[in-house]
Amino acid sequence: MKLGAFSISLAVKDLKASMAFYEKLGFPHFAGNGEQYAIMKNGDTVIGLFEGMFENNILTFNPGWDQSAQKLDNFDDVRTIQKDLKAKGLKLDTEADESTSGRASFMVMDPDGNAILVDQHV
Protein backbone atom coordinates (compact mmCIF):
# COMPACT_ATOMS: atom_id res chain seq x y z
CA MET A 1 0.00 0.00 0.00
CA LYS A 2 1.44 3.34 -1.11
CA LEU A 3 0.09 6.10 1.13
CA GLY A 4 1.93 8.91 -0.64
CA ALA A 5 3.60 12.02 0.74
CA PHE A 6 3.61 12.33 4.53
CA SER A 7 3.21 15.46 6.62
CA ILE A 8 2.04 16.44 10.05
CA SER A 9 -0.83 18.93 10.10
CA LEU A 10 -0.68 21.11 13.21
CA ALA A 11 -3.63 23.02 14.63
CA VAL A 12 -2.08 26.38 15.60
CA LYS A 13 -3.46 29.34 17.56
CA ASP A 14 -1.50 32.07 15.73
CA LEU A 15 -0.42 31.21 12.20
CA LYS A 16 2.03 34.11 11.82
CA ALA A 17 3.77 33.27 15.13
CA SER A 18 3.94 29.57 14.20
CA MET A 19 5.32 30.36 10.74
CA ALA A 20 8.03 32.56 12.29
CA PHE A 21 8.92 29.81 14.78
CA TYR A 22 9.20 27.06 12.14
CA GLU A 23 11.15 29.34 9.80
CA LYS A 24 13.72 29.71 12.60
CA LEU A 25 13.87 25.89 12.79
CA GLY A 26 14.78 25.80 9.09
CA PHE A 27 11.33 25.33 7.54
CA PRO A 28 10.73 28.02 4.87
CA HIS A 29 7.20 28.71 3.65
CA PHE A 30 6.59 26.22 0.81
CA ALA A 31 2.89 26.58 -0.02
CA GLY A 32 -0.42 27.80 1.33
CA ASN A 33 -2.00 31.22 1.54
CA GLY A 34 -0.29 32.27 4.80
CA GLU A 35 -3.62 33.59 6.09
CA GLN A 36 -5.42 30.38 7.16
CA TYR A 37 -2.72 27.82 6.52
CA ALA A 38 0.91 27.46 5.51
CA ILE A 39 2.94 24.48 4.38
CA MET A 40 6.51 24.59 5.66
CA LYS A 41 9.24 22.35 4.24
CA ASN A 42 12.77 21.37 5.25
CA GLY A 43 14.25 18.79 2.88
CA ASP A 44 11.64 16.05 2.62
CA THR A 45 10.03 16.97 5.95
CA VAL A 46 6.70 18.77 5.58
CA ILE A 47 4.71 20.51 8.31
CA GLY A 48 1.28 22.01 7.65
CA LEU A 49 0.20 24.85 9.95
CA PHE A 50 -3.57 25.41 10.11
CA GLU A 51 -5.26 28.18 12.12
CA GLY A 52 -8.91 27.63 13.03
CA MET A 53 -9.45 24.77 10.61
CA PHE A 54 -9.44 21.83 13.04
CA GLU A 55 -8.94 21.20 16.75
CA ASN A 56 -6.24 18.55 16.95
CA ASN A 57 -3.07 17.64 15.08
CA ILE A 58 -3.44 15.20 12.17
CA LEU A 59 -1.07 12.78 10.45
CA THR A 60 -1.60 13.37 6.74
CA PHE A 61 -0.83 11.20 3.72
CA ASN A 62 -1.33 12.39 0.13
CA PRO A 63 -1.60 9.57 -2.41
CA GLY A 64 -0.43 10.69 -5.82
CA TRP A 65 2.07 13.25 -4.52
CA ASP A 66 5.76 13.11 -3.74
CA GLN A 67 7.20 15.11 -0.81
CA SER A 68 7.34 18.23 -3.03
CA ALA A 69 3.62 18.00 -3.92
CA GLN A 70 4.49 16.87 -7.46
CA LYS A 71 2.14 14.40 -9.10
CA LEU A 72 3.32 10.81 -9.26
CA ASP A 73 2.66 8.76 -12.38
CA ASN A 74 2.10 5.58 -10.40
CA PHE A 75 0.26 5.55 -7.06
CA ASP A 76 -2.46 3.76 -5.10
CA ASP A 77 -5.77 5.60 -5.39
CA VAL A 78 -7.34 6.73 -2.11
CA ARG A 79 -10.40 4.54 -2.78
CA THR A 80 -8.19 1.46 -3.23
CA ILE A 81 -6.42 2.22 0.05
CA GLN A 82 -9.78 2.73 1.75
CA LYS A 83 -11.14 -0.61 0.49
CA ASP A 84 -7.98 -2.38 1.68
CA LEU A 85 -8.20 -0.89 5.17
CA LYS A 86 -11.90 -1.69 5.47
CA ALA A 87 -11.20 -5.27 4.37
CA LYS A 88 -8.65 -5.45 7.20
CA GLY A 89 -11.39 -4.50 9.67
CA LEU A 90 -10.56 -0.84 10.29
CA LYS A 91 -13.50 1.45 11.03
CA LEU A 92 -13.17 4.72 9.14
CA ASP A 93 -14.43 7.99 10.60
CA THR A 94 -15.08 9.50 7.17
CA GLU A 95 -15.04 7.78 3.79
CA ALA A 96 -14.28 8.67 0.19
CA ASP A 97 -17.12 8.10 -2.26
CA GLU A 98 -15.98 4.94 -4.03
CA SER A 99 -18.08 5.73 -7.12
CA THR A 100 -15.93 8.79 -7.91
CA SER A 101 -12.41 9.35 -9.20
CA GLY A 102 -9.79 12.05 -8.59
CA ARG A 103 -9.79 14.16 -5.43
CA ALA A 104 -11.11 12.39 -2.34
CA SER A 105 -10.20 11.67 1.25
CA PHE A 106 -10.99 9.55 4.27
CA MET A 107 -10.07 9.69 7.92
CA VAL A 108 -9.31 6.99 10.48
CA MET A 109 -8.33 7.24 14.14
CA ASP A 110 -5.50 5.19 15.62
CA PRO A 111 -6.06 3.34 18.94
CA ASP A 112 -4.90 6.43 20.88
CA GLY A 113 -7.28 8.84 19.14
CA ASN A 114 -4.75 10.32 16.71
CA ALA A 115 -6.42 11.31 13.45
CA ILE A 116 -4.95 10.03 10.20
CA LEU A 117 -6.12 11.77 7.03
CA VAL A 118 -5.55 10.18 3.63
CA ASP A 119 -6.15 13.10 1.27
CA GLN A 120 -5.71 12.67 -2.49
CA HIS A 121 -5.47 15.88 -4.54
CA VAL A 122 -5.03 14.34 -8.00
What is the mean pLDDT for each group of 10 consecutive residues in the chain (122 residues)?
96 98 98 95 97 96 96 97 98 97 97 96 94
Q: What is the pLDDT of residue 70?
A: 95
User: DSSP string spanning 40-51?
Assistant: EEETTEEEEEEE
- Residue 4: per-residue pLDDT: 95
Task: Report pTM.
Answer: 0.91
75-113 CB burial, b ≥16 within 10 A, e <16: bbbbbebbeebeeeeeeeeeebeeeeeeebbbbbeeeee
Q: Strand pairing partners for 49?
A: 10, 38
pLDDT for res 87: 98
Q: Are 119 and 77 in contact (CB under 8 A)?
A: no
For domain 5-120, which CATH number applies: 3.30.230.70, 3.40.50.720, 3.30.70.260, 3.10.180.10?
Answer: 3.10.180.10
Residue ranges of the domains in the chain? Answer: 5-120
